[in-house]
């Protein structure tokens, strides 16, 4: 039988121990979500690059010294790493700071539908973490620089730079290191030069290419025929010439083809077009092709728009 003194001693010892154990369990069960000082500083540098009247009222929540995981437009993982910066349609004005590349765990960056100006930091395109980069519908300009990366396979899957004021030759070698690319939208800019032929060769899962409303010239690349997963091909409203490459029929997953308003030559081969049995949209308006509409077009059972 325990004496009252021993019982009281055991009780006095057990209470602090149980309290400590409870706090430890709570600590391990609920990981901290505080971002690091480097991440907070990188975001503040981005904010500082915006105009005072074009920061989307981010100053209200983006306060230095506080946990950036709780800032507006910021999403963190359970360990406090910033994974998403989602600031679409916030009325942002100013430049895009390359400091965002210091967010080493960033997966998605969406700055679309704002009034951002200046160039797109190429470091963001060649980030070792970003899989989705969207800066469409801004006032960005300049060239997209060619850049060779020491990383043989960048994680980027979706790149949307449409509806800006980019000019100059479209990068041709950049895509050699974007082996995970699934969708590229660079429409409604002023890019010149040829359409890159290596995208599908280097990115086997590539599914969507929209380069419409630019100033691309030359032939439609034979390499697009190697896009076995390509579903959407929009290259209308450019200055493309030459005939439709026969190899395009190898992209049998194509659902949407738009070649409108170009300077193509030749006829539409009915025996080839028939093999694209998944087509739902075929837009050849003012594409420059001649001859008659092949009867086999009528056998494309999924076609909804011609």
- For the chain, list the domains and their CATH numbers: 32-142 (3.80.10.10), 151-306 (3.80.10.10)
Torsion of CA 249, 205, 233, 157, to 10 degrees: -170
* Of the candidates 167, 171, 162, 106, the residue with the CA atom closest to the CA atom of residue 134: 162
pLDDT at residue 173 in the model: 77
CA distance 157 to 107: 10
Contact predicate 150/176, CB 8 Å? no
Do residues 166 and 191 lie in contact, with contact meaning Cβ atoms separated by under 8 Å? yes
* Average pLDDT over all residues of the chain: 86
**Predicted local distance difference test score (pLDDT) of residue 85:** 98
pLDDT of residue 226: 79
- Of 221, 167, 159, 161, the C-alpha closest to 192 is 167
pLDDT at 114: 98
Residues 6 or more apart in contact with residue 130 via CB below 8 angstroms? 106, 107, 108, 109, 124, 155, 156
Taking the model in full, what pTM does it have?
Answer: 0.86
Assess whether pLDDT exceeds 90 at residue 21: no
Coil, strand or helix: which one is 286? coil
Whether 97 contacts 117, CB under 8 Å? no
**209: nearest Cα among 259, 250, 173, 166:** 259
**Of the listed ranges 118-122, 252-256, 276-280, 294-298, the one predicted with least confidence:** 294-298
Angle at 230 between CA 108 and CA 296, to 5 degrees: 150
The residue with tokens 């929209």 is: 210
Higher-pLDDT residue of 54, 116: 116
Please give the residue that has the higher pLDDT: either 174 or 160: 160
pLDDT at 221: 81
Which residues, listed in sequence order, are joined to residue 217 by a DSSP beta bridge? 239
Kindly state the average pLDDT of the residues 163-177. 87
pLDDT at 29: 39
Residue 2 has pLDDT above 80, yes or no: no
Is residue 82 within 8 Å of 105, Cβ to Cβ? yes
Specify whether the CB–CB gap between 34 and 80 falls below 8 A: yes
What is the predicted pLDDT for the residue at 139?
Answer: 98
Nearest partner of 57 among 33, 108, 93, 99, judged by Cα: 93
- pLDDT tens per residue across span 233-287: 999 999 999 988 877 878 889 999 999 999 999 888 887 888 899 999 999 999 9
DSSP state of 244: P
Q: List the 139-142 sheet strands across, edge first.
A: 93-94, 115-118, 139-142, 165-169, 190-193, 215-218, 239-242, 263-264
- Contact in structure between 252 and 228 (CB atoms under 8 Å): yes
Weakest-pLDDT range from 93-102, 132-141, 179-188, 286-295: 286-295
Give yes or no for residue 3 having a pLDDT over 60. Answer: no
Instruction: Say which range, 36-40, 62-66, 86-90, 271-275, has the weakest mean pLDDT.
Output: 271-275
- Report, as an integer, the average pLDDT of 157-164: 97
Query: What are the start-end ranges of the H helices in 129-262?
Result: 199-202
176 vs 151, more confident: 176
* Contact (Cβ atoms closer than 8 angstroms) between residue 50 and residue 73: no
Query: What CA–CA distance (Å, rounded) separates 14 from 122?
Result: 59
Q: Is 115's pLDDT higher than 90?
A: yes
Per-residue confidence at 153, pLDDT binned at 50, 70, 90? confident
Q: Rounded distance, CA 262 to CA 195, Å?
A: 14
CA 116 – CA 137 distance, rounded (Å): 9
């Amino acid at each position: 039988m325990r004496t009252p003194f021993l019982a009281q001693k055991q009780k006095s010892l057990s209470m602090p121990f149980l309290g400590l154990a409870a706090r430890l369990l709570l600590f391990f069960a609920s990981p901290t979500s505080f971002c690091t000082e480097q991440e907070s500083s990188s975001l503040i540098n981005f904010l500082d690059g915006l105009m005072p009247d074009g920061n989307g009222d981010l100053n209200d929540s983006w306060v230095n010294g506080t946990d950036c995981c709780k800032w507006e437009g910021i999403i963190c993982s359970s360990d406090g790493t910033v994974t998403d910066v989602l600031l679409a349609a916030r009325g942002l004005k100013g430049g895009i700071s390359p400091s965002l590349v210091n967010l080493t765990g960033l997966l998605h960056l969406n700055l679309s539908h704002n009034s951002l100006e200046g160039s797109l930091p190429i470091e963001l395109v060649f980030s070792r973490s970003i899989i989705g980069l969207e800066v469409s519908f801004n006032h960005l300009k300049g060239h997209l620089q060619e850049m060779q990366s020491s990383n043989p396979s960048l994680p980027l899957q979706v790149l949307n730079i449409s509806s800006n004021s980019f000019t100059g030759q479209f990068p041709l070698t950049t895509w050699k290191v974007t082996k995970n690319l699934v969708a590229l939208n660079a429409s409604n800019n002023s890019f010149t030069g040829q359409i890159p032929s290596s995208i599908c060769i280097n990115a086997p899962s590539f599914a969507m290419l929209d380069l419409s409303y630019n100033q691309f010239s030359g032939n439609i690349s034979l390499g697009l025929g190697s896009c076995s997963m390509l579903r959407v091909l929009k290259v209308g409203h450019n200055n493309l010439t030459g005939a439709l490459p026969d190899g395009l029929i190898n992209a049998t997953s194509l659902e949407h083809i738009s070649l409108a308003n170009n300077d193509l030559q030749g006829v539409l081969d009915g025996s080839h077009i028939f093999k694209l049995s998944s087509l739902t949209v075929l837009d050849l308006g003012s594409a420059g092709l001649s001859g008659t509409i092949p009867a086999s077009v009528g056998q494309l059972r999924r076609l909804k728009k011609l």
